[in-house]
Amino acid sequence: MHIAIVGSGYVGLVAGACFADMGHQVILVDNDQQKLAALNSGQVPIHEKFLPELLERHRGRSLTFSDDLRAAVEASAAVFIAVGTPPTEQGHADLSYVESVARIIPSAINGYKVVVEKSTVPVYTSEWIRKIILRNAAPPDSFDVASNPEFLREGTAVTDFLYPDRIVVGADNERCAAVLRTIYAPLTGGSYYKRPDAIPGPDQAQIPPPLIITSTKSAELIKHACNAFLAMKISFINAVASVCESVGANVQQVCQGIGTDSRIGPRFLNPGIGYGGSCFPKDLMAFRAVARECGYEFRLLDEVIRINEDQRQRFLRKVHNALWTLRGKRLGVLGLAFKGGTDDIRESPAVLLVQTLLQEGCKVAAYDPAAQERAKEVLNSSIEYASDAYEAARGADALLILTEWDEFASLDLDRLHRELKYSIVIDGRNLYDPDSMAAHGFTYYSVGRPAAMPESVPVEAVVPPRKASHS
Ligand code: UGA
Instruction: Identify whether the C-beta of residue 382 lies closer than 8 Å to the C-beta of residue 358.
Output: yes
- Ligand 1 nearest atom to the CA of residue 404, by list position: 28
Residue 384 CA to chain centroid, in angstroms? 26
Q: How far is the CA of 151 from the centre of ligand 1 (A)?
A: 10
Three-state DSSP class for residue 48: coil
Show which residues are catalytic: 279
Q: Is residue 338 lining ligand 1, measured as CB closer than 6 Å?
A: yes
With a cut of 70, list the residues of the chain below it in pLDDT: 457-471
Q: Which residues contact 369 (CB under 8 A, 6 or more apart)?
A: 405, 407
Q: Is residue 422 lining ligand 1, measured as CB closer than 6 Å?
A: no
Q: Which residues contact 284 (CB under 8 A, 6 or more apart)?
A: 227, 228, 231, 301, 304, 305
Q: How far is the CA of 125 from the centre of ligand 1 (A)?
A: 24
Least Cα distance to 187 among 168, 214, 215 occurs for 168
How much is the pLDDT for 457? 62
Q: Strand runs (DSSP E) across 63-103, as ranges?
A: 63-66, 78-81
Architecture of domain 312-468: 3-Layer(aba) Sandwich (3.40)
- Outline where 91-152 has alpha helix (H): 96-104, 125-135
Question: What is 223-307's CATH superfamily?
Answer: N-(1-d-carboxylethyl)-l-norvaline Dehydrogenase; domain 2 (1.10.1040.10)
Q: What is the DSSP string of 390-456?
A: HHHHTT-SEEEE-S--GGGGG--HHHHHHH-SS-EEEETT--S-HHHHHHTT-EEE-SSS--B--TT
Q: Topology of domain 2-214, per CATH?
A: Rossmann fold (3.40.50)
- Nearest residue (CA) to ligand 1, atom 12: 279
Q: Is residue 279 lining ligand 1, measured as CB closer than 6 Å?
A: yes
How much is the pLDDT for 232? 98
Q: Is residue 16 lining ligand 1, measured as CB closer than 6 Å?
A: no
Q: Is residue 270 lining ligand 1, measured as CB closer than 6 Å?
A: yes
Start-end of CATH 1.10.1040.10 domains in the chain: 223-307
**What's the rounded Cα separation, in Å, for the pair 159 and 195?**
15
Q: How far is the CA of 153 from the centre of ligand 1 (A)?
A: 6
How much is the pLDDT for 464? 47
- Nearest residue (CA) to ligand 1, atom 3: 153
- Ligand 1 nearest atom to the CA of residue 403, by list position: 28
Number of Cβ within 10 Å of residue 293's Cβ equals: 12
Q: Is residue 120 lining ligand 1, measured as CB closer than 6 Å?
A: yes
Start-end of CATH 3.40.50.720 domains in the chain: 2-214, 312-468
